[in-house]
């Protein structure tokens, strides 16, 4: 019996070691004076990143990055980017004034397509349903979540906050942590909030009628709530926690099926605070934050720690398998199957 138990424990340890080696990371770039939070991976070769101090980066081969500090925006923090090709990208800033910039020539020229000088303005994230229809959301002004829509690929933006009429609780807002607290899927859009209250708001692409769902994730303080979500045709996955206590793993992850919207806990939670979650393929997910990176091979039921390095964002190619992560000091890594 003792021999059998030892063999069993050795086999279990081997399996866990094998699981822990499922992914590996390869550093592609680092050392820039920027904290990257915006990341959009178009395909296996093309990706754009955006960060603090006006920096953006682009790869056209999936490995090497061209860096640019946008003139006149050296003190601006670009927290989200949406890319469509090696030439076309849109970036969104956090803070006031709020800016949305676009390029159609690979970054040679950036055009300001939206500017808001209100002191309270703070844009949190952006996503697109298709090449023409997109949405940006921001923290509340006069109690209303800010909603901007474009129907011409980002050339112009309309503020529909009053029509949308999404009333947030005092102390409730979004997090511009990775650009992934807003997600489009099919005709729907999902927006997550945090702070004193944490909820998910759901609407069709017209964004006039909204439904809201309370979240069980850690909340009650300004540093707590849902920081990122991921969606497929059956399920929704949320991560977050407390960015001021980033080693805390309590109530930092849940998932639900759309048939009942019942929130489920994981058997094994991700480790610590997470600012981004991404679906990599059938049953495979990855989540990252300043506490490190974890992944799941069973559709989010259990999580395995990949590393303890600090990152802000992880994204998979819209068309392809390229997976990148990025974070402070301009660090960019590729996540690959081991």
Distances in Å between the alpha carbon of 313 and those of 45, 123, 146, 202, 265? 18, 17, 23, 23, 23
The whole-angstrom separation of Cα 109 and Cα 81 is 16
Q: What are 217's two structure tokens?
A: 């994730």
Nearest to 35 by CA among 87, 82, 76: 76
Q: Does the pLDDT of residue 8 top 80, yes or no?
A: no
Structure confidence at residue 7 as a pLDDT band (50, 70, 90): very low
The region that residue 124 occupies, defined by phi over 0 for left and psi between -120 and 50 for alpha, beta otherwise, is alpha
Return the bridge partners of 56, or none.
50, 68
Q: Which residues pair with 147 in a beta bridge?
A: 137
Quick one: average pLDDT of 275-282? 97
The confidence score (pLDDT) of residue 13 equals 40
pLDDT tens, 51-110?
Answer: 999 999 999 999 999 999 999 999 999 999 999 999 999 999 999 999 999 999 999 999
65-69/332-337 β-pairing:
unpaired
Q: What is the DSSP string of 232-300?
A: -SSEEEEEEEETTSTT--TT-EEEEETTT--EE--SB--SS--SEEEEEETTEEEEEETTEEEEESSTT
Digit-coded pLDDT (tens) for 144-178: 999 999 999 999 999 999 999 999 999 999 999 99
pLDDT band of 14, cuts 50, 70, 90: very low
Compute the distance between CA of residue 204 and CA of residue 198 in angstroms, rounded to an integer.
21
Could you give the CA distance from residue 65 to residue 83 in angstroms, rounded to a whole number? 15
Q: Would you give the distance in Å from CA 143 to the centre of its chain?
A: 24
Return the CATH number of 27-337, one of 1.20.1250.20, 2.130.10.10, 3.10.20.90, 2.30.30.40.
2.130.10.10
How many CA atoms within 13 Å lie on the side-chain side of 337?
6
For residue 8 the two structure tokens come to 């069993």
**Residue 230's beta-bridge partner residues?**
237
The pTM score is: 0.93
CA distance 167 to 143: 6
List the beta bridge partners of residue 10. none
Question: Could you give the CA distance from residue 203 to residue 191 in angstroms, rounded to a whole number?
Answer: 9
- End-to-end CA distance of the chain: give it in Å, rounded: 35
pLDDT tens per residue, range 198-225: 999 999 998 999 999 999 999 999 999 9
Domain ranges within the chain, ordered by starting residue: 27-337
* Mean pLDDT of all residues belonging to the chain: 94
* 3-state SS assignment for residue 18: helix
Sign of CA dihedral 59, 60, 66, 68: negative
Q: Is the separation of the CB atoms in 237 and 200 below 8 Å?
A: no
């Amino acid at each position: 019996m003792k021999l059998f138990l030892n063999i069993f424990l050795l086999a279990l340890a081997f399996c866990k070691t094998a699981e822990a080696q499922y992914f590996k990371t390869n550093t592609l770039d680092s050392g820039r004076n920027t904290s990257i939070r915006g990341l959009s991976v178009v395909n296996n070769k093309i990706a754009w990143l955006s960060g603090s101090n006006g920096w953006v980066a682009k790869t056209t081969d999936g490995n090497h990055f061209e860096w640019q500090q946008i003139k006149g925006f050296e003190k601006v923090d670009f927290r989200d980017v949406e890319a469509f090709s090696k030439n076309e990208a849109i970036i969104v800033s956090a803070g006031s004034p709020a800016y949305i910039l676009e390029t159609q020539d690979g970054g040679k020229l950036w055009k300001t397509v939206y500017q808001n000088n209100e002191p309270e303005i703070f844009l949190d994230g952006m996503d697109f349903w298709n090449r023409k229809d997109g949405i940006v959301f921001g923290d509340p002004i006069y109690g209303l979540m800010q909603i901007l829509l474009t129907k011409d690929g980002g050339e112009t933006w309309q503020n529909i906050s009053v029509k949308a009429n999404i009333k947030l609780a005092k102390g409730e807002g979004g997090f511009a942590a990775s650009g992934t607290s807003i997600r489009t899927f099919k005709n729907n859009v999902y927006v997550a909030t945090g702070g004193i209250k944490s909820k998910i708001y759901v609407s069709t692409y017209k964004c006039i009628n909204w439904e809201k769902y309370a979240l069980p994730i850690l909340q009650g303080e300004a540093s707590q709530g849902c920081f990122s979500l991921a969606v497929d045709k059956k399920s929704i996955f949320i991560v977050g926690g407390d960015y001021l206590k980033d080693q805390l793993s309590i109530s930092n992850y849940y998932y639900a099926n759309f048939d009942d919207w019942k929130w489920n806990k994981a058997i094994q939670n991700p480790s610590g605070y997470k600012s981004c979650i991404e679906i990599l393929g059938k049953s495979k997910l990855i989540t990252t934050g300043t506490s490190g990176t974890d992944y799941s091979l069973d559709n989010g039921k259990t999580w395995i720690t990949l590393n303890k390095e600090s990152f802000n964002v992880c994204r998979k190619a819209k068309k392809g398998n390229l997976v990148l992560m990025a974070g402070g000091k301009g660090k960019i890594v590729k996540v690959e199957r081991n």
